[in-house]
Structure 1
């Protein structure tokens, strides 16, 4: 089955479980609005790519892990867009959840998606009980304290913070969960895969900072210039566009070289370099390549 199709089917199945008889219809609609249509699904695709590179034959645990990570990512976007944080009116080219459904339902939709992520992982990875505890711990650590996406969001409220530490928590944590989780789902030692996820996550955040300065809001499906407007830390603001592009090149190179020995290492390395070109506005790709 096509990777993207498998991800979409797993996500749709998870939302359908949440929309069962007796569910509050407004909340159910807000949750689906947050997940579909999706973005690039970079994190779940990375999770499945790592599982494949590690030689996985049964992808049920990997697909469950990938879907849980994407649900957590969607939840983080719902909360990130709230008036108390970014107050973003648009996400993925349509009204953000709090603009479409109101702030109370947006808060609850984000909360419910977090719970649904763990329900989905537990339900679909139950066929591999010997791996389930490792997967739950891997995904849980990527969300909470001290180094998960909640911690990353909290750093924005601190007076001073190291940019790399902020990026590692806010963005790198879910990418690390994708690589570690993909390896764990394939039944191989997962710890060596953390560096790859952290490097890709930091690279993605640097690229996102560049897009916030030089991107097209219609192409991105969200407003630009938010980092400057909110006085938020940004690689593009700290290093300049050229410096941020150099940093992105360095991180992608380090990510490719950090791939542990595995049957599909060469294919995964090529995929990472190809995906990196999608991170940037088209007019900057030739500069960063």
Structure 2
């Protein structure tokens, strides 16, 4: 089974448990709307790729870890789209959760996805109890404070922001969790994989800033111009489009160089290069 099929299967299992008998029907429907169909699933695929490079001796735990990371990412998107932040009407090419189901239910959907992510990890960890505590701490730290994605979002409420620190927390933290948790799920040393996740996460945020400026809404499935409209930190606005593309190239190269020697090194390098190239706005791909 390839990585994408494993991710989709684990997500389906997690949501089927969550939306069982007794669950309010519209909540169950809205939760599925937030998760399916997904985007590139880059974070969970990265998690599984690292687990594979480390031997993948516990595929059930790796699948649950990958799904938990994607569920947390989806939760952050639901909250990020809400009127108190971006007030975005579209996500992944269709109505955002609050636009489709209302603001109160969207808030609950984001909360529910956070809870089910950790439930998924806890269930899978019973077969490898020595790995579950490090995984819970690692993944939990990537979404909370002081340096997780919630803290990263909170920097938007501050008067002064360090762009690199903001990017590392808002996006890099969950990427670092993906690589490190993939290694942990496979019983390997997570620290060897930290730099890959951190550098790739920062690269992906710069890429998102570029897309917000240079892409069309129908190309990326969500509104553009949000950073300028919301006076939000942006590499593309701070460095200019050409400068942001150069920064993306530097960070992507640094991420690829950070991959440890392992049997799956070449495959990981190809995956990262392909993903970054495919997500650039079409008009920039030839120059990238």
Asked if these proteins are the same fold (TM beyond 0.5), I'd say yes
Partner residue in 2 for 1:111: 111
Quick one: distance in 2 between partners of 1:286 and 1:255? 21
Question: Take 1:287 and 1:163, find their aligned partners in 2: how far apart are those partners?
Answer: 25
For the pair 1:234 / 2:230, whether they are aligned, the reply is no
The range that moved more, 260-269 or 2-11, is 260-269
**Do the aligned residues in 2 keep the contact of 1:216 with 1:224 (CA within 8 Å)?**
yes
User: CA separation in 1, counterparts of 2:62 and 2:56?
Assistant: 9
Partner residue, 1:29:
29
Q: How many residues align?
A: 288
Residue in structure 2 matched with residue 155 of structure 1 by the alignment: 155
CA offset at residue 269 of structure 1? 1.9
Check whether the contact 1:55–1:263 (CA below 8 A) recurs between aligned residues. Answer: no
Deviations 1:4-54 (A, max 9, x none): 111111101111101111111111111111001111101000000111112
- TM-aligned CA deviation for residue 203 of structure 1: 0.5
8 Å Cα contact 1:245-1:287 kept in structure 2: no
Deviation at 1:267, TM superposition (A): 2.3
| SS of equivalent to 2:223 | coil
Q: Which stretch shifts more, 115-124 or 277-286?
A: 277-286
Rounded to whole Å, the distance in 1 between the matches of 2:250 and 2:286 is 15
Question: Which blocks of at least 5 consecutive residues in structure 1 are unaligned?
Answer: none
* Residue 8 of structure 1: aligned partner: 8
Secondary structure of 2:56 counterpart: coil
User: Is the aligned partner of 1:18 residue 2:27?
Assistant: no
Q: Distance in 1 between matches of 2:266 and 2:55?
A: 13
Is this contact kept in 2: 1:92–1:221, CA < 8 A?
A: yes
CA offset at residue 225 of structure 1? 0.5
Is the contact made by 2:81 and 2:88 (CA closer than 8 Å) also made in structure 1? yes
1:160-180 deviation line (CA, Å, top 9, x unaligned): 010000000000111001000
What secondary structure, in the 3-state scheme, does the structure 1 residue paired with 2:12 have?
Answer: helix
Query: TM-score under structure 2 normalisation?
Result: 0.98
**2:68 equivalent in structure 1:** 68
| Structure 2 residue 260 is matched with structure 1 residue 260 | yes
Q: Are residue 93 (structure 1) and residue 119 (structure 2) matched? A: no
For 1:102, the equivalent position in structure 2 comes to: 102
Aligned-pair Cα RMSD in Å: 1.0
Q: Which range is displaced more, 97-106 or 53-62? A: 53-62
| Residue matched to 1:141 | 141
Q: For 1:272 and 1:266, how far apart are their aligned partners in 2?
A: 10
> Any runs of at least 4 consecutive aligned residues in structure 1 with deviations exceeding 3 A, and if so which?
none
CA contact (8 A) 1:62 1:182 kept: yes
Mapping for residues 198-217 of structure 1, pairs under 5 Å: 198-217=198-217
CA shift, 1:58, in A, is 3.3
Aligned partners of 2:135 and 2:251: how far apart in 1?
26
2:246 counterpart of 1:285: no
Report the equivalent of 1:40: 40
| Structure 2 CA distance for aligned equivalents of residues 53 and 287 of structure 1 | 32
Deviation at 1:3, TM superposition (A): 1.2
Q: In the TM superposition, what whole-angstrom CA distance separates every residue of 1:199-251 from its partner, at most 9, and x where no partner exists? A: 00110110110000010211211000111111111000001111001000000
Which moved further from structure 2: 145-154 or 57-66?
A: 57-66
